[in-house]
Amino acid sequence: MQKLGTETFRGEHPAIVPKALFDRVQRLLAENGTSRRRMSPDGTGFILRGLIRCSACDSAMTPSATKSHGKLYKYYRCSHAEKNGHGACPSKMIPADRVEQFVVDQIRRVGSDTQLQQATFEQAVAQVKAQRRGLQAERKRLQRDLVTAKSDVERLVGAVSRVTGAAGDAIAAELEKVQRHVQTVEARLREIDGEHDRLKTQEVDRDELARALAEFDPIWDALLSPERERVMHLLIDRIDYNGATGQLAIQWRLTGFGQLAAEVGP
């Protein structure tokens, strides 16, 4: 219903979000276990929580909120300045609404500029390749380390059975240390396999990236605070703010664009 002056009448207008897109948003919310009861429809969430750092003193910028005359004011405060006084850091704080809107506008800018889209796509592809090369190099190094460590275990197992007293205790302690190292290396190798599989799911297709960015606005408008925060963490690695210069630099998590494209797929 809409009201004009003293008269009330039924308003009929097209949906802000197409039904198919709305249904996909609901699916995303359900898949991530997010209920609307736990969301913040009043917008009091901090969608850049954990992403902003004060580059002037290399400290985290943490959410803070105050109320004045019934109005809520949100900020990201430099934790160093908060602990040691505002004079300790030139950044002090930055209004949350302003910095959040700036970041969202940058994503929209990529979505509306085909040249920026192409550059983002190329950077995302290069980032995935670089991460794969890094994982492969680490895997080879750990596999060599694991062979050596297991050989040491066999040697120490044989030695501990032949020696008693203080020397035997020392060998047993060394054996325990090497066995823990083997467990640590094996656990990291499993993590590398998982990260490699995850990168496969984040491969970026040029058309999918363009579609995901084109649909960013209606999807963003349909999401509430917790899911908006999750999307920011998907797309951004960190944000550096320097209050002395007023500069704000965004480091994109480019592989996240591939994941976003997969999530908003039909």
Low-confidence winner among 20-24, 34-38, 65-69, 104-108 (lowest mean pLDDT): 34-38
Bridging pattern class, strands 93-95 and 71-78: antiparallel
Q: Is 25 exposed, middle or buried (0-12, 13-18, 19+ CB in 10 A)?
A: buried
Tens-digit pLDDT profile for residues 133-184:
999 999 999 999 999 999 999 999 988 888 778 888 899 999 999 999 999 9
- The CA distances from residue 259 to 30, 79, 99, 263, in Å, are 17, 32, 24, 6
Q: Is the pLDDT of residue 234 over 70?
A: yes
Cβ distance 240 to 249 under 8 Å? yes
Q: How confident is the model at residue 96 (pLDDT cuts 50, 70, 90)?
A: very high
Q: Is the pLDDT of residue 18 over 50?
A: no
- Residue 253: what pLDDT? 81
User: In 10 A of CB 129, how many CB atoms?
Assistant: 11
pTM over 0.75: no
Instruction: Identify the residue with better confidence: 223 or 185.
Output: 185
Q: How confident is the model at residue 257 (pLDDT cuts 50, 70, 90)?
A: confident
Q: What gap in Å lies between CA 74 and CA 66, rounded to an integer?
A: 7
Cβ distance 218 to 24 under 8 Å? no
Strand order in the sheet with 71-78: 93-95, 71-78, 59-68, 52-54, 236-242, 247-252
Low-confidence winner among 21-25, 83-87, 132-136 (lowest mean pLDDT): 21-25
75's tokens = 């900020």
Percentage of residues in the chain having pLDDT higher than 70: 81
- Residue 134: what pLDDT? 94
98's tokens = 């302003």
- Residue 178: what pLDDT? 94
Q: How confident is the model at residue 26 (pLDDT cuts 50, 70, 90)?
A: low
Q: What gap in Å lies between CA 79 and CA 205, rounded to an integer?
A: 39
Tens-digit pLDDT profile for residues 112-130:
888 877 887 787 778 778 8
